Amino acid sequence: MNVRRTLVRAALAVTLTVTAALALDRIFPPNLTRYLDRSTEVVDANGRLLRAFTTKDGLWRLKTAASDVDPTYLALLKAYEDSRFDYHFGVDPLSVVRAAAQDIASGRVVSGASTLTMQAARLLEPRPRTFVNKVIEAARAVQLEWHFSKRAVMGIYLTLAPMGGNLEGVRAASLAYFGKEPGQLTAAEAALLVAIPQSPSRRRPDRSPDAAKDGRDGVLARGLEDHVLDQKVYDRAINRPVPTHRLALPMNAPHLAAWLSSQSPGTIIPTTIRLQLQSSLAGLIAEERGQMPDKAQVAMVVMDNRTGGVVAWLAGGDFFGHAGQVDLVRAHRSPGSALKPLIYALAFDDRTLHPESIVEDVPIRFKDWLPHNFDRGHQGAVTVRRALQQSLNIPAVLALERVGPARFLSTLRAAGANPVLPPGDPGNSLGMALGSAAVSPLEMAGLYSGLANGGRFAPPWVRRDQPKPAPVQLVDDAAAWYVGDILADAPLPEGFASLPVALRDRRIAYKTGTSAGFRDAWAAGYSANWTVVVWVGHADGTPRPGQVGRVAALPILFKAFGRLPGEDNRAPRPPADVIKVGSWKELPPRMQRLGPTAVEGAPRIAYPPPDARLELEPHDTVALAASGSGQLHWLVNGRPLKGNIWTPDGSGLMRLAVVDDAGRASAVTVRIVRRP
């Protein structure tokens, strides 16, 4: 009976104890607030750190898992701090007995018997060092082991271990003291990071290198004693110096990181950026800015056309310099002529224009606006191909008039761009052909990548933890192919002594743009795999006289392509519905010509009539006649003619245009046949 009564009491005691423990566990669950209050981290496509941010209380606390650190560090840590970590339940009874015996024998506290789990509990909830708090830590340690795996408990310690100053955790310390991830630690470096938490203020290597070295050497000695290190590794490690200063944590893609961190503070944000490309192109921009007398800002966006992801985001120059923290990748600026390919793509998609269509480059007034070309001249009747390659303004405005400004604007928005219009502009201005609708380099990259992808447009993708935007077919494959074929065969601007290396290695379709007042210089281009957009200017809009896109931005674009991974540089095969013709005359009538629409009050050419055939003797002249108000001015193939008496200088098609003082115009094409 006594035995039975004893067993019943024991069972009851165990039951009450377990019940109380479960109740306390439910009432007081592990407090992970400090562990979860970590630095925001923005990482690249492979998980490498681009930039981190301090916590709200100013600490560098980067999440560190056991898999993130070198195995030698873990072995040294366990040997020095808790050799039976893998086997105990949070409290090590053998260590408790040993510590008690040492304390009684010496009459003072010699060893605290703290396990790594108990230290993790203390780091989660810091308390003064008292006996009662020690008991609480032990209980919390058991609770942690109940709830989490050994590797998870180790992760708590690795993330919160004090490393001197505002550094917490092995990863933050490894980056700050050695400039590397903790998975790459040497034995000497690992030993130092094991030693610092024992006395983080006294063993800070940037403040007390001698004390730090002594602590490190003690860890190395324990590692040798416990056969964690062999003699050769120990000898090499013991002679290594300790770092004497802290390094800055990585600052790659700082503008992008700042933007994303504001969206998801306290988390790890995975991006599509490729750190190696980001670093290489940042070096290129630093080189280019070093050669600019005015130290203009350079923004660059690089996209992978195959994934739609942004692989490089360079938003300016010196991040800590004047206006350096303005994210110029997302800043809306006037694109100048850089949107012209999109206008022609829509016209090609409508089958109202073709690269070989004839378009009039003559002075034309659109209501109260008289646009002109950059060089103030006019080329007369030219093909659309030449008009786009030469970035002629009048043909682009005529193309936009045919497409419709409202439709063009809605297409840009459907593609993921958000153009900013001038105050009072409702979105029907033909000025969009010349840059009145401001876009960002990021939006421009998305638009050009859409052309590279056969007219399938989507906003650029940069966060891998968010769904990839679904592409929308806004123009067909043939229209996109026409644009790429034109731009890839554009003649190089004057000043290029030889073919850039990038153009020898891959086929690049490119276009430049310059805003009014030389405030913004652009170059945008794409190959089969990559799209690159470059913007050069000042963040505050200060003009840069003479710095046009083909001078300031295009060379940087070619150099950027030269740093991108190689690819097949063959021209893509044309889609089946591409129309191949020898000249504009073989096109359907609706696609043959693009000229000014009829304008009320415009002059009318009376002679010669449209499409006339004039057979002339060698010295014959033609008296041109037109009706209209005011003084009339004649142009032949875009060149001014004095008076109205014309002496053709050869045979063939000639384009005649007449313009009045108000800029209203009309034109005809005639064929001249000179008899021998």
Assess whether 81 carries a catalytic annotation: yes
Instruction: List b or e across 149-163, with b for residues whose CB sees 16 or more CB atoms inside 10 angstroms.
Output: eeeebbbbbbbbbbb
* Backbone torsions φ then ψ of 360, nearest 5 degrees: -90, 120
* Backbone torsions φ then ψ of 547, nearest 5 degrees: -90, 80
Percentages (nearest 5) of helix, strand, coil residues in the chain: 40, 15, 45
Q: How far is CA 639 from the centre of its chain?
A: 46
Residue 61 near residue 159 (C-beta atoms within 8 A):
yes
Report the DSSP pairing between strands 622-623 and 645-646. antiparallel
Nearest one of 449, 465, 409 to 269, comparing CA atoms: 465
Euclidean distance between CA atoms 206 and 210, whole angstroms:
10
Euclidean distance between CA atoms 400 and 382, whole angstroms:
17
Q: Among all chains, which residue has been given the structure tokens 């690159």?
A: 532
- Both tokens of 53, joined, read 């941010």
How many degrees, rounded to 5, is the angle at CA 557 between CA 409 and CA 492? 90
The one-letter amino acid code at 319 reads F
Cα distance between the two ends of the chain: 141
Complete edge-to-edge strand list for the sheet that includes strand 509-514: 309-315, 297-304, 530-537, 520-526, 509-514
How many degrees, rounded to 5, is the angle at CA 465 between CA 153 and CA 269? 60
How many degrees, rounded to 5, is the angle at CA 304 between CA 301 and CA 308? 95
Euclidean distance between CA atoms 441 and 255, whole angstroms:
14
Euclidean distance between CA atoms 266 and 40, whole angstroms:
4
- Both tokens of 234, joined, read 């120990």
Euclidean distance between CA atoms 241 and 551, whole angstroms:
50
Assess whether 337 carries a catalytic annotation: yes
Does an H or E element contain 524, and which?
Answer: strand 520-526
Euclidean distance between CA atoms 226 and 626, whole angstroms:
105
**Annotated catalytic residue, options 174, 261, 334, 337:** 337
**Annotated catalytic residue, options 39, 41, 81, 168:** 81
Helix (H, G, I), strand (E, B) or coil at 512: strand
Active site residues: 81, 337
